[in-house]
Amino acid sequence: MNKHFIGDTTVLLGRSLRHILRSPDTIITTTIMPIAFLLLFVYVFGGAINTGSDSYVSYLLPGILLITIASGVAYTAYRLFLDLKGGIFERFQSMPIARSSVLWAHVLTSLVANLVSVAVVVLVSLLMGFRTGAGVLTWLAVAGILILFTLALTWLAVIAGLSAKTVDGASAFSYPLIFLPFISSAFVPTASMPGPVRAFAENQPVTSIVDTIRNLFAQQPVGTDIWVALAWCLGILVIAYVLAMAAYRRKISG
């Protein structure tokens, strides 16, 4: 790894963050849909949904946070695609910088932007009645899981951004990720689902992540869910990173 990797990544990260500061509509757009889902399900459908929880907003919030992140990473693929088509990558290759720092700058920008979006959604949920007795360590544990989840999805976004042929194609990969929480325990208990749907819901990554975060907020035992959630996040992260770097090497050598 280039000895200037950290410095190069920091400089390029600053460039990406300045773009977001000049155009904050990225974060605004990312938070609008999750907040709309939060309002819709709590105030329209919440009364008809039996989750066994006194507060539906508290039950719903973990899934909404994952939807926020899935929505946000689409912009990473979009920005990466624009950089490729704009010739920025070729310009960077002619400079004495660590090649992987270009990708890491996009990934870290996604992490910062998504954490801001998640914070906004949490603030809205507090206004809607979300309450938790969780302490600082529990909040740090939740943040750690969300950071891992964000990194995993962002590296998937990098693959999409490097492989897409059009702008729409670069961000379209996120649509299945956004709707995956709907077939999980994010909105209703999986016990209420038909057999095949329930089997899928209980064995896909979102359910274990949502259940872990929900139990952490409720100060309930997390059991094996936390290990399953971490295994999913780390597994997706490692595989996506390897595939993204391979796609990047092909792209810059092509």
- For 7, the token pair is 């410095």
Residues 6+ apart with CB under 8 A from 207: 184, 185, 186, 190, 201
Q: What angle do CA 251, 162, 155 make, to 5 degrees?
A: 120
Backbone φ, ψ for residue 46 (5° rounding): -55, -40
Give 118-170 pLDDT, tens digit per residue. 999 999 999 999 999 889 999 999 999 999 999 999 999 999 888 888 877 77
Which of 45, 203, 192, 26 minimizes the C-alpha distance to 120?
A: 26
Give 167-226 pLDDT, tens digit per residue. 777 778 888 888 899 999 999 999 889 999 999 999 999 999 999 999 999 999 998 999
How many other β-carbons are positioned within 10 Å of the β-carbon of residue 176? 9
Residue identified by tokens 């295994």 is 231
In this prediction, residue 7 has a pLDDT band, given cuts at 50, 70 and 90, of confident
Total domains in the chain come to: 1
Compute the mean pLDDT over every residue in the chain, rounded to the nearest whole number: 86
Q: Cα 250 vs. chain centroid, distance in angstroms?
A: 26
- For residue 138, give its domain range: 5-253
- Kindly tell me if the per-residue pLDDT of 1 is higher than 50: no
- What is the percentage of the chain residues whose pLDDT exceeds 70? 89
- For 183, the token pair is 């077939």
Which of 193, 31, 177, 190 minimizes the C-alpha distance to 113?
A: 31
